[in-house]
Structure 1
Amino acid sequence: MQAHKTVSRDEWLEARRALLAKEKAHLRAHDELARQRRELPWVKVDKSYVFDGPDGRETLSDLFAGRSQLIVKHFMFGPDWQEGCVGCSFGADQMEGSLIHLAHHDVMVVAVSRAPYAKIAAFHKRMGWPFKWVSSAGCDFNFDYNVSFTEEQKTKGKVFYNFEERDWMSDELPGFSVFTKDETGQIFHTYSVFARGTEDVGTVYGFLDITPKGRNEPPGGNLSHWVRHHDKYEEKAGNSCCHG
Protein backbone atom coordinates (compact mmCIF):
# COMPACT_ATOMS: atom_id res chain seq x y z
CA MET A 1 0.00 0.00 0.00
CA GLN A 2 1.25 3.46 -0.91
CA ALA A 3 2.37 5.62 2.00
CA HIS A 4 -0.36 8.06 3.02
CA LYS A 5 -0.03 11.53 4.47
CA THR A 6 -0.10 11.56 8.28
CA VAL A 7 -1.19 14.67 10.18
CA SER A 8 -2.20 15.84 13.65
CA ARG A 9 -5.77 15.43 14.92
CA ASP A 10 -6.43 19.17 14.41
CA GLU A 11 -5.17 19.05 10.82
CA TRP A 12 -7.27 15.94 10.15
CA LEU A 13 -10.35 17.69 11.59
CA GLU A 14 -9.80 20.69 9.30
CA ALA A 15 -9.46 18.43 6.25
CA ARG A 16 -12.49 16.39 7.29
CA ARG A 17 -14.65 19.50 7.66
CA ALA A 18 -13.62 20.66 4.20
CA LEU A 19 -14.66 17.30 2.75
CA LEU A 20 -17.89 17.37 4.78
CA ALA A 21 -18.89 20.61 3.06
CA LYS A 22 -18.49 18.86 -0.31
CA GLU A 23 -20.41 15.82 0.93
CA LYS A 24 -23.31 18.02 2.06
CA ALA A 25 -23.35 19.76 -1.32
CA HIS A 26 -23.47 16.33 -2.96
CA LEU A 27 -26.42 15.32 -0.75
CA ARG A 28 -28.30 18.51 -1.60
CA ALA A 29 -27.66 17.89 -5.30
CA HIS A 30 -28.92 14.31 -4.84
CA ASP A 31 -32.12 15.57 -3.20
CA GLU A 32 -32.66 18.04 -6.03
CA LEU A 33 -32.23 15.28 -8.63
CA ALA A 34 -34.79 13.16 -6.74
CA ARG A 35 -37.22 16.10 -6.82
CA GLN A 36 -36.74 16.53 -10.56
CA ARG A 37 -37.16 12.79 -11.04
CA ARG A 38 -40.59 12.96 -9.41
CA GLU A 39 -41.56 15.71 -11.86
CA LEU A 40 -40.84 13.61 -14.96
CA PRO A 41 -43.87 13.13 -17.21
CA TRP A 42 -45.50 9.68 -17.23
CA VAL A 43 -46.35 7.30 -20.06
CA LYS A 44 -49.70 5.51 -20.01
CA VAL A 45 -49.30 1.73 -20.25
CA ASP A 46 -51.95 0.54 -22.71
CA LYS A 47 -50.36 -2.78 -23.63
CA SER A 48 -51.34 -5.94 -21.75
CA TYR A 49 -48.58 -7.96 -20.12
CA VAL A 50 -49.08 -11.36 -18.48
CA PHE A 51 -46.41 -13.00 -16.35
CA ASP A 52 -45.92 -16.50 -14.97
CA GLY A 53 -44.93 -16.79 -11.32
CA PRO A 54 -45.53 -18.36 -7.91
CA ASP A 55 -49.17 -17.23 -7.99
CA GLY A 56 -49.80 -18.50 -11.51
CA ARG A 57 -50.59 -16.17 -14.41
CA GLU A 58 -50.65 -12.50 -13.37
CA THR A 59 -51.01 -9.19 -15.13
CA LEU A 60 -48.82 -6.15 -14.55
CA SER A 61 -51.67 -4.75 -12.48
CA ASP A 62 -51.66 -7.85 -10.27
CA LEU A 63 -48.00 -7.33 -9.43
CA PHE A 64 -48.85 -4.12 -7.53
CA ALA A 65 -50.48 -6.33 -4.83
CA GLY A 66 -52.65 -3.52 -3.49
CA ARG A 67 -50.00 -0.79 -3.62
CA SER A 68 -49.96 2.20 -5.94
CA GLN A 69 -46.26 1.96 -6.86
CA LEU A 70 -44.32 -0.93 -8.40
CA ILE A 71 -40.57 -1.26 -8.92
CA VAL A 72 -39.54 -3.93 -11.41
CA LYS A 73 -36.01 -5.27 -11.14
CA HIS A 74 -34.96 -6.31 -14.64
CA PHE A 75 -33.00 -9.39 -13.61
CA MET A 76 -30.70 -10.78 -16.32
CA PHE A 77 -31.76 -14.40 -16.78
CA GLY A 78 -32.25 -15.42 -20.41
CA PRO A 79 -34.39 -18.31 -21.65
CA ASP A 80 -31.37 -20.54 -22.35
CA TRP A 81 -29.37 -19.58 -19.25
CA GLN A 82 -28.90 -22.06 -16.42
CA GLU A 83 -28.66 -19.44 -13.67
CA GLY A 84 -29.15 -15.72 -13.13
CA CYS A 85 -26.54 -13.05 -13.77
CA VAL A 86 -23.83 -12.70 -11.11
CA GLY A 87 -24.15 -8.91 -11.03
CA CYS A 88 -27.95 -9.00 -10.71
CA SER A 89 -27.56 -11.62 -7.99
CA PHE A 90 -25.09 -9.40 -6.14
CA GLY A 91 -27.67 -6.62 -6.19
CA ALA A 92 -30.46 -8.99 -5.14
CA ASP A 93 -28.44 -10.08 -2.10
CA GLN A 94 -28.66 -6.50 -0.82
CA MET A 95 -32.41 -6.06 -1.25
CA GLU A 96 -33.81 -8.29 1.47
CA GLY A 97 -33.91 -5.83 4.36
CA SER A 98 -35.66 -3.18 2.26
CA LEU A 99 -38.63 -5.22 1.11
CA ILE A 100 -40.86 -5.23 4.18
CA HIS A 101 -40.42 -1.49 4.75
CA LEU A 102 -41.21 -0.71 1.11
CA ALA A 103 -44.28 -2.95 1.09
CA HIS A 104 -45.64 -1.01 4.06
CA HIS A 105 -44.82 2.30 2.41
CA ASP A 106 -46.95 1.72 -0.72
CA VAL A 107 -44.21 0.15 -2.88
CA MET A 108 -43.93 -3.38 -4.26
CA VAL A 109 -40.66 -4.72 -5.67
CA VAL A 110 -40.84 -7.59 -8.15
CA ALA A 111 -38.08 -9.15 -10.24
CA VAL A 112 -38.84 -9.97 -13.88
CA SER A 113 -36.80 -12.17 -16.22
CA ARG A 114 -37.33 -13.85 -19.59
CA ALA A 115 -36.30 -17.32 -18.38
CA PRO A 116 -39.14 -19.85 -18.01
CA TYR A 117 -40.62 -19.74 -14.53
CA ALA A 118 -39.45 -23.27 -13.71
CA LYS A 119 -35.83 -22.14 -14.13
CA ILE A 120 -36.48 -18.97 -12.14
CA ALA A 121 -38.15 -20.90 -9.32
CA ALA A 122 -35.24 -23.34 -9.01
CA PHE A 123 -32.62 -20.59 -8.92
CA HIS A 124 -34.80 -18.47 -6.63
CA LYS A 125 -35.05 -21.35 -4.15
CA ARG A 126 -31.33 -22.01 -4.39
CA MET A 127 -30.50 -18.38 -3.56
CA GLY A 128 -33.16 -18.04 -0.85
CA TRP A 129 -34.31 -14.54 -1.77
CA PRO A 130 -37.66 -13.32 -0.37
CA PHE A 131 -38.76 -11.00 -3.18
CA LYS A 132 -41.33 -12.06 -5.75
CA TRP A 133 -39.90 -13.11 -9.12
CA VAL A 134 -41.91 -13.75 -12.29
CA SER A 135 -41.26 -14.75 -15.88
CA SER A 136 -42.06 -12.51 -18.84
CA ALA A 137 -41.37 -15.32 -21.31
CA GLY A 138 -44.85 -15.12 -22.83
CA CYS A 139 -44.98 -11.37 -23.48
CA ASP A 140 -43.00 -8.42 -24.87
CA PHE A 141 -42.34 -6.74 -21.52
CA ASN A 142 -38.53 -7.08 -21.55
CA PHE A 143 -38.27 -5.99 -25.16
CA ASP A 144 -40.58 -3.01 -24.69
CA TYR A 145 -38.52 -1.78 -21.73
CA ASN A 146 -35.24 -2.28 -23.57
CA VAL A 147 -33.53 -4.88 -21.39
CA SER A 148 -33.82 -7.89 -23.74
CA PHE A 149 -32.83 -7.93 -27.38
CA THR A 150 -33.79 -9.86 -30.49
CA GLU A 151 -31.64 -11.97 -32.80
CA GLU A 152 -32.16 -9.30 -35.46
CA GLN A 153 -30.68 -6.66 -33.16
CA LYS A 154 -27.80 -8.97 -32.30
CA THR A 155 -27.09 -9.51 -36.01
CA LYS A 156 -27.11 -5.76 -36.64
CA GLY A 157 -24.84 -5.26 -33.63
CA LYS A 158 -26.84 -2.30 -32.32
CA VAL A 159 -29.43 -2.04 -29.52
CA PHE A 160 -31.28 0.74 -27.72
CA TYR A 161 -30.20 0.64 -24.08
CA ASN A 162 -29.82 3.29 -21.37
CA PHE A 163 -31.70 5.74 -23.62
CA GLU A 164 -29.29 5.60 -26.55
CA GLU A 165 -28.24 3.44 -29.47
CA ARG A 166 -25.17 1.42 -28.57
CA ASP A 167 -23.19 -1.65 -29.56
CA TRP A 168 -24.73 -5.01 -28.74
CA MET A 169 -23.31 -6.44 -25.49
CA SER A 170 -25.64 -9.23 -24.38
CA ASP A 171 -29.08 -10.72 -24.99
CA GLU A 172 -30.11 -9.42 -21.55
CA LEU A 173 -29.10 -6.27 -19.65
CA PRO A 174 -29.97 -4.94 -16.15
CA GLY A 175 -32.13 -2.10 -14.91
CA PHE A 176 -35.13 -1.01 -12.86
CA SER A 177 -38.45 0.32 -14.15
CA VAL A 178 -41.04 2.07 -12.02
CA PHE A 179 -44.81 2.11 -12.47
CA THR A 180 -47.74 3.70 -10.66
CA LYS A 181 -51.43 2.85 -10.68
CA ASP A 182 -54.17 5.42 -10.13
CA GLU A 183 -57.58 5.02 -8.47
CA THR A 184 -59.15 3.88 -11.74
CA GLY A 185 -56.60 1.10 -12.22
CA GLN A 186 -54.75 2.81 -15.05
CA ILE A 187 -51.01 2.10 -15.01
CA PHE A 188 -48.28 4.57 -15.92
CA HIS A 189 -44.57 4.09 -16.53
CA THR A 190 -42.81 6.80 -14.50
CA TYR A 191 -39.09 6.04 -14.55
CA SER A 192 -36.37 3.61 -15.63
CA VAL A 193 -32.69 3.41 -14.75
CA PHE A 194 -30.01 1.21 -16.30
CA ALA A 195 -26.32 0.35 -16.29
CA ARG A 196 -24.30 2.05 -13.53
CA GLY A 197 -27.35 4.07 -12.57
CA THR A 198 -28.60 0.98 -10.76
CA GLU A 199 -25.71 1.08 -8.27
CA ASP A 200 -27.52 3.59 -6.06
CA VAL A 201 -30.74 1.53 -5.98
CA GLY A 202 -31.15 -1.19 -3.36
CA THR A 203 -31.57 0.46 0.02
CA VAL A 204 -35.00 1.62 1.22
CA TYR A 205 -34.26 5.26 0.43
CA GLY A 206 -32.55 4.30 -2.82
CA PHE A 207 -35.73 2.57 -3.93
CA LEU A 208 -38.05 5.32 -2.67
CA ASP A 209 -36.02 7.97 -4.48
CA ILE A 210 -36.95 6.44 -7.86
CA THR A 211 -40.70 6.25 -7.12
CA PRO A 212 -43.23 8.95 -8.05
CA LYS A 213 -44.15 9.59 -4.40
CA GLY A 214 -40.54 9.69 -3.29
CA ARG A 215 -39.79 9.25 0.41
CA ASN A 216 -43.28 10.54 1.23
CA GLU A 217 -42.21 11.63 4.72
CA PRO A 218 -43.20 14.67 6.76
CA PRO A 219 -40.84 17.68 6.67
CA GLY A 220 -37.56 16.79 8.31
CA GLY A 221 -37.73 13.14 7.24
CA ASN A 222 -38.75 11.74 10.61
CA LEU A 223 -38.44 7.96 10.19
CA SER A 224 -40.66 7.27 13.19
CA HIS A 225 -43.58 8.65 11.17
CA TRP A 226 -43.75 5.46 9.12
CA VAL A 227 -40.92 3.00 9.84
CA ARG A 228 -41.55 0.16 12.30
CA HIS A 229 -39.45 -2.74 13.50
CA HIS A 230 -40.00 -5.18 10.68
CA ASP A 231 -41.84 -7.61 12.97
CA LYS A 232 -44.33 -4.93 14.05
CA TYR A 233 -45.94 -4.09 10.74
CA GLU A 234 -49.58 -5.08 10.34
CA GLU A 235 -49.52 -7.31 7.27
CA LYS A 236 -52.10 -6.61 4.57
CA ALA A 237 -54.08 -9.79 4.03
CA GLY A 238 -53.15 -11.44 0.75
CA ASN A 239 -50.54 -8.83 -0.10
CA SER A 240 -47.35 -10.25 1.35
CA CYS A 241 -44.17 -8.64 0.07
CA CYS A 242 -42.24 -11.89 0.11
CA HIS A 243 -42.48 -15.06 -1.94
CA GLY A 244 -40.20 -18.05 -1.60
Structure 2
Amino acid sequence: MNTAISEANTVNHSVVSADRWVAERKTLLAREKELTRLRDQIARERRALPWVRIEKDYTFDAPEGRRALAELFEGRRQLLVQHFMLGPEWEQGCPSCSFMADHIDGMNVHLAHRDVTLRVVSRAPLAEIERFRRRMGWHFKWVSSYGSDFNHDFGVSFTPQERARGQGEVYYNYGMQPFPAEEAPGISVFYKDDAGAIFHTYSTYGRGVEVMMGTYSLLDLTPRGRDEHNPAHAMDWVRHHDRYEPAALAKTAPAAGSCCEARD
Protein backbone atom coordinates (compact mmCIF):
# COMPACT_ATOMS: atom_id res chain seq x y z
CA MET A 1 0.00 0.00 0.00
CA ASN A 2 1.02 3.61 -0.40
CA THR A 3 1.78 4.52 3.23
CA ALA A 4 2.03 8.24 2.48
CA ILE A 5 -1.47 8.25 1.00
CA SER A 6 -2.96 6.02 3.67
CA GLU A 7 -1.65 8.29 6.42
CA ALA A 8 -2.77 11.53 4.76
CA ASN A 9 -5.84 11.74 7.00
CA THR A 10 -3.76 11.45 10.18
CA VAL A 11 -0.97 13.95 9.45
CA ASN A 12 -1.62 17.55 10.62
CA HIS A 13 -5.24 16.61 11.25
CA SER A 14 -7.53 19.29 12.65
CA VAL A 15 -7.57 19.41 16.46
CA VAL A 16 -10.39 21.32 18.19
CA SER A 17 -11.93 21.83 21.63
CA ALA A 18 -14.19 19.17 23.11
CA ASP A 19 -17.25 21.43 22.63
CA ARG A 20 -16.44 21.97 18.95
CA TRP A 21 -15.88 18.23 18.51
CA VAL A 22 -19.28 17.40 20.02
CA ALA A 23 -20.98 19.95 17.74
CA GLU A 24 -19.39 18.44 14.63
CA ARG A 25 -20.06 14.92 15.88
CA LYS A 26 -23.78 15.76 16.19
CA THR A 27 -23.81 16.97 12.58
CA LEU A 28 -22.27 13.69 11.47
CA LEU A 29 -24.71 11.76 13.70
CA ALA A 30 -27.61 13.26 11.78
CA ARG A 31 -26.09 11.97 8.54
CA GLU A 32 -25.48 8.55 10.08
CA LYS A 33 -29.13 8.36 11.11
CA GLU A 34 -30.14 9.21 7.54
CA LEU A 35 -28.00 6.31 6.34
CA THR A 36 -29.52 3.96 8.93
CA ARG A 37 -33.05 4.86 7.86
CA LEU A 38 -32.11 4.48 4.20
CA ARG A 39 -30.54 1.08 4.90
CA ASP A 40 -33.75 -0.03 6.68
CA GLN A 41 -35.84 1.19 3.75
CA ILE A 42 -33.69 -0.67 1.21
CA ALA A 43 -33.89 -3.83 3.35
CA ARG A 44 -37.69 -3.62 3.19
CA GLU A 45 -37.55 -3.13 -0.58
CA ARG A 46 -35.17 -6.10 -0.86
CA ARG A 47 -37.59 -8.34 1.04
CA ALA A 48 -40.41 -7.15 -1.24
CA LEU A 49 -38.64 -8.27 -4.44
CA PRO A 50 -40.50 -10.94 -6.42
CA TRP A 51 -39.09 -14.47 -6.34
CA VAL A 52 -38.08 -16.92 -9.05
CA ARG A 53 -38.94 -20.59 -8.58
CA ILE A 54 -35.98 -22.94 -8.98
CA GLU A 55 -36.90 -25.58 -11.54
CA LYS A 56 -33.46 -27.12 -12.15
CA ASP A 57 -32.25 -30.02 -10.01
CA TYR A 58 -28.89 -28.80 -8.71
CA THR A 59 -26.70 -31.29 -6.86
CA PHE A 60 -23.47 -30.77 -4.95
CA ASP A 61 -20.61 -32.85 -3.58
CA ALA A 62 -20.44 -32.61 0.21
CA PRO A 63 -18.31 -34.50 2.73
CA GLU A 64 -21.46 -36.53 3.54
CA GLY A 65 -22.03 -37.41 -0.14
CA ARG A 66 -24.14 -36.00 -2.97
CA ARG A 67 -26.65 -33.41 -1.81
CA ALA A 68 -29.53 -31.72 -3.62
CA LEU A 69 -30.07 -27.99 -3.22
CA ALA A 70 -33.05 -28.70 -0.96
CA GLU A 71 -30.81 -30.68 1.40
CA LEU A 72 -28.43 -27.75 1.88
CA PHE A 73 -31.19 -25.99 3.88
CA GLU A 74 -30.79 -28.64 6.63
CA GLY A 75 -34.38 -28.29 7.80
CA ARG A 76 -34.48 -24.50 7.75
CA ARG A 77 -36.46 -22.38 5.32
CA GLN A 78 -33.80 -19.83 4.36
CA LEU A 79 -30.45 -20.50 2.70
CA LEU A 80 -27.56 -18.07 2.23
CA VAL A 81 -24.85 -19.09 -0.24
CA GLN A 82 -21.43 -17.51 -0.46
CA HIS A 83 -20.14 -18.01 -4.00
CA PHE A 84 -16.46 -18.52 -3.14
CA MET A 85 -13.85 -18.04 -5.86
CA LEU A 86 -12.04 -21.38 -5.91
CA GLY A 87 -11.92 -22.92 -9.37
CA PRO A 88 -10.77 -26.38 -10.42
CA GLU A 89 -7.00 -26.82 -10.06
CA TRP A 90 -6.54 -23.47 -8.31
CA GLU A 91 -3.67 -23.55 -5.84
CA GLN A 92 -5.70 -21.68 -3.23
CA GLY A 93 -8.92 -19.71 -2.77
CA CYS A 94 -9.27 -16.03 -3.54
CA PRO A 95 -7.82 -13.89 -0.69
CA SER A 96 -10.83 -11.56 -0.67
CA CYS A 97 -13.34 -14.43 -0.63
CA SER A 98 -11.27 -15.90 2.20
CA PHE A 99 -11.54 -12.56 4.01
CA MET A 100 -15.32 -12.88 3.68
CA ALA A 101 -15.28 -16.49 4.86
CA ASP A 102 -13.20 -15.63 7.93
CA HIS A 103 -16.37 -14.08 9.38
CA ILE A 104 -18.65 -17.11 8.92
CA ASP A 105 -17.88 -19.40 11.86
CA GLY A 106 -18.77 -16.72 14.40
CA MET A 107 -22.02 -15.85 12.62
CA ASN A 108 -23.30 -19.35 11.97
CA VAL A 109 -24.81 -20.08 15.37
CA HIS A 110 -26.77 -16.81 15.27
CA LEU A 111 -28.00 -17.36 11.71
CA ALA A 112 -29.11 -20.90 12.54
CA HIS A 113 -31.31 -19.56 15.33
CA ARG A 114 -32.94 -17.16 12.87
CA ASP A 115 -34.00 -19.96 10.47
CA VAL A 116 -31.02 -19.36 8.16
CA THR A 117 -28.47 -21.89 6.92
CA LEU A 118 -25.26 -20.50 5.41
CA ARG A 119 -23.32 -22.62 2.94
CA VAL A 120 -20.21 -21.89 0.91
CA VAL A 121 -20.16 -23.14 -2.69
CA SER A 122 -17.22 -23.34 -5.10
CA ARG A 123 -16.66 -24.97 -8.47
CA ALA A 124 -13.45 -26.74 -7.40
CA PRO A 125 -13.75 -30.49 -6.72
CA LEU A 126 -14.49 -31.36 -3.11
CA ALA A 127 -10.99 -32.71 -2.38
CA GLU A 128 -9.46 -29.36 -3.36
CA ILE A 129 -12.01 -27.50 -1.25
CA GLU A 130 -11.34 -29.67 1.79
CA ARG A 131 -7.58 -29.27 1.46
CA PHE A 132 -7.88 -25.47 1.51
CA ARG A 133 -10.54 -25.46 4.26
CA ARG A 134 -8.27 -27.49 6.52
CA ARG A 135 -5.36 -25.15 5.83
CA MET A 136 -7.48 -22.14 6.84
CA GLY A 137 -8.90 -23.84 9.94
CA TRP A 138 -12.53 -23.14 9.04
CA HIS A 139 -15.39 -25.24 10.42
CA PHE A 140 -18.31 -24.12 8.23
CA LYS A 141 -19.78 -26.46 5.61
CA TRP A 142 -18.47 -26.02 2.08
CA VAL A 143 -19.76 -27.93 -0.94
CA SER A 144 -18.64 -28.34 -4.54
CA SER A 145 -20.75 -27.44 -7.56
CA TYR A 146 -18.20 -29.11 -9.86
CA GLY A 147 -19.87 -30.44 -13.01
CA SER A 148 -23.15 -28.57 -12.45
CA ASP A 149 -24.58 -25.36 -13.92
CA PHE A 150 -25.05 -23.74 -10.51
CA ASN A 151 -22.18 -21.24 -10.62
CA HIS A 152 -22.87 -20.29 -14.22
CA ASP A 153 -26.62 -19.92 -13.68
CA PHE A 154 -26.03 -17.57 -10.74
CA GLY A 155 -23.51 -15.42 -12.59
CA VAL A 156 -20.25 -16.25 -10.83
CA SER A 157 -18.43 -18.51 -13.32
CA PHE A 158 -17.54 -17.67 -16.89
CA THR A 159 -16.49 -19.98 -19.70
CA PRO A 160 -13.47 -19.17 -21.91
CA GLN A 161 -15.93 -18.73 -24.78
CA GLU A 162 -17.94 -16.13 -22.84
CA ARG A 163 -14.82 -14.19 -21.95
CA ALA A 164 -13.55 -14.30 -25.55
CA ARG A 165 -16.92 -13.33 -26.99
CA GLY A 166 -17.13 -10.33 -24.70
CA GLN A 167 -13.52 -9.31 -25.47
CA GLY A 168 -12.66 -9.54 -21.80
CA GLU A 169 -16.06 -8.45 -20.56
CA VAL A 170 -18.58 -10.84 -18.99
CA TYR A 171 -22.14 -10.54 -17.72
CA TYR A 172 -21.62 -9.89 -14.01
CA ASN A 173 -23.59 -7.91 -11.44
CA TYR A 174 -26.46 -7.49 -13.91
CA GLY A 175 -24.40 -5.92 -16.68
CA MET A 176 -21.43 -6.39 -18.98
CA GLN A 177 -18.10 -5.47 -17.37
CA PRO A 178 -14.45 -6.53 -17.33
CA PHE A 179 -13.53 -9.26 -14.87
CA PRO A 180 -10.01 -10.67 -14.50
CA ALA A 181 -10.84 -14.29 -13.64
CA GLU A 182 -13.14 -17.14 -14.60
CA GLU A 183 -14.72 -17.08 -11.13
CA ALA A 184 -16.38 -14.16 -9.36
CA PRO A 185 -17.69 -13.44 -5.84
CA GLY A 186 -21.31 -13.22 -4.87
CA ILE A 187 -23.99 -14.04 -2.32
CA SER A 188 -27.31 -15.68 -3.20
CA VAL A 189 -30.40 -16.22 -1.06
CA PHE A 190 -33.04 -18.94 -1.36
CA TYR A 191 -36.31 -19.78 0.39
CA LYS A 192 -37.98 -23.19 0.73
CA ASP A 193 -41.69 -23.29 1.49
CA ASP A 194 -43.57 -25.93 3.45
CA ALA A 195 -44.35 -27.83 0.23
CA GLY A 196 -40.63 -28.09 -0.57
CA ALA A 197 -40.60 -25.60 -3.45
CA ILE A 198 -37.39 -23.54 -3.62
CA PHE A 199 -37.24 -19.91 -4.70
CA HIS A 200 -34.34 -17.60 -5.56
CA THR A 201 -35.05 -14.39 -3.65
CA TYR A 202 -31.89 -12.29 -3.97
CA SER A 203 -28.29 -12.18 -5.20
CA THR A 204 -25.65 -9.51 -4.73
CA TYR A 205 -22.25 -9.11 -6.35
CA GLY A 206 -19.35 -6.64 -6.56
CA ARG A 207 -19.23 -4.43 -3.48
CA GLY A 208 -22.53 -5.91 -2.37
CA VAL A 209 -20.58 -8.80 -0.83
CA GLU A 210 -19.16 -6.39 1.76
CA VAL A 211 -22.17 -7.33 3.91
CA MET A 212 -20.08 -10.35 5.00
CA MET A 213 -17.00 -8.27 5.84
CA GLY A 214 -17.59 -7.11 9.40
CA THR A 215 -13.93 -6.12 9.62
CA TYR A 216 -14.64 -3.40 7.07
CA SER A 217 -17.36 -1.88 9.26
CA LEU A 218 -14.88 -1.53 12.11
CA LEU A 219 -12.11 -0.16 9.86
CA ASP A 220 -14.54 2.46 8.58
CA LEU A 221 -14.69 3.85 12.14
CA THR A 222 -10.93 4.44 12.31
CA PRO A 223 -8.95 7.50 11.16
CA ARG A 224 -7.06 5.59 8.46
CA GLY A 225 -10.09 3.62 7.34
CA ARG A 226 -9.48 0.76 4.92
CA ASP A 227 -6.22 2.11 3.43
CA GLU A 228 -7.82 1.74 0.00
CA HIS A 229 -7.29 5.04 -1.76
CA ASN A 230 -6.71 3.69 -5.27
CA PRO A 231 -9.86 2.05 -6.70
CA ALA A 232 -7.72 0.09 -9.15
CA HIS A 233 -5.99 -1.66 -6.24
CA ALA A 234 -8.74 -1.87 -3.64
CA MET A 235 -8.26 -4.76 -1.22
CA ASP A 236 -4.57 -5.06 -2.10
CA TRP A 237 -3.84 -5.20 1.62
CA VAL A 238 -6.01 -8.29 2.19
CA ARG A 239 -4.12 -11.54 2.77
CA HIS A 240 -5.11 -15.07 3.64
CA HIS A 241 -5.11 -14.93 7.43
CA ASP A 242 -2.13 -17.31 7.56
CA ARG A 243 -0.09 -15.15 5.17
CA TYR A 244 0.01 -11.80 6.98
CA GLU A 245 3.28 -10.25 8.04
CA PRO A 246 3.66 -9.72 11.80
CA ALA A 247 1.31 -6.95 12.91
CA ALA A 248 4.12 -4.56 13.80
CA LEU A 249 5.32 -4.69 10.18
CA ALA A 250 1.92 -4.60 8.51
CA LYS A 251 2.09 -0.99 7.34
CA THR A 252 5.28 -1.66 5.36
CA ALA A 253 4.20 -4.99 3.87
CA PRO A 254 4.17 -5.05 0.05
CA ALA A 255 0.85 -5.23 -1.76
CA ALA A 256 -0.14 -8.74 -2.77
CA GLY A 257 -3.07 -7.96 -5.04
CA SER A 258 -6.53 -9.49 -5.01
CA CYS A 259 -8.46 -11.58 -7.45
CA CYS A 260 -11.77 -9.90 -6.66
CA GLU A 261 -11.10 -6.21 -6.09
CA ALA A 262 -13.93 -4.02 -4.86
CA ARG A 263 -16.26 -2.95 -7.65
CA ASP A 264 -19.53 -1.06 -7.47
TM range (shorter): 0.7 to 0.9
CA distance in 1, matches of 2:209, 2:134: 24
CA distance in 2, matches of 1:5, 1:167: 40
Native 8 Å contact 2:170 2:176 kept in 1: yes
Q: 1:74 aligns with which of 68, 83, 87?
A: 83
Q: 1:180 aligns with which of 191, 194, 207?
A: 191
CA distance in 2, matches of 1:174, 1:37: 20
Deviation at 1:138, TM superposition (A): 2.0
SS in 1 for 2:24: helix
* Superposed counterparts of 1:9-24, under 5 Å: 9-24=18-33
168-177 or 106-115, larger mean C-alpha shift: 168-177
1:190 has 2:201 as partner: yes
CA distance in 1, matches of 2:23, 2:144: 54
CA distance in 1, matches of 2:135, 2:65: 20
Q: Give me the CA root mean square deviation.
A: 1.3
SS in 2 for 1:61: helix
The number of residues matched between the two structures is 204
CA distance in 2, matches of 1:45, 1:150: 22
Partner in structure 2 of residue 167 of structure 1: 178
CA distance in 2, matches of 1:81, 1:126: 14
**TM-score using structure 1 length:** 0.81
Structure 1, residues 161-186: CA drift from partner, whole Å, max 9, x if none?
00101224210000000000001000
Structure 1 runs of 4+ aligned residues shifted over 4 Å read none
Deviation at 1:202, TM superposition (A): 4.8
Q: Which amino acid aligns with 2:205?
A: F
Partner in structure 1 of residue 152 of structure 2: 143
CA distance in 2, matches of 1:167, 1:15: 41
Native 8 Å contact 1:98 1:202 kept in 2: no
Native 8 Å contact 1:149 1:159 kept in 2: yes
Q: 1:111 aligns with which of 120, 125, 128?
A: 120
Structure 2: where are the runs of 5+ without partners? 1-9, 218-264
Structure 1, residues 138-175: CA drift from partner, whole Å, max 9, x if none?
21000000100111012223311001012242100000
**TM-score using structure 2 length:** 0.75
Structure 1: where are the runs of 5+ without partners? 207-244
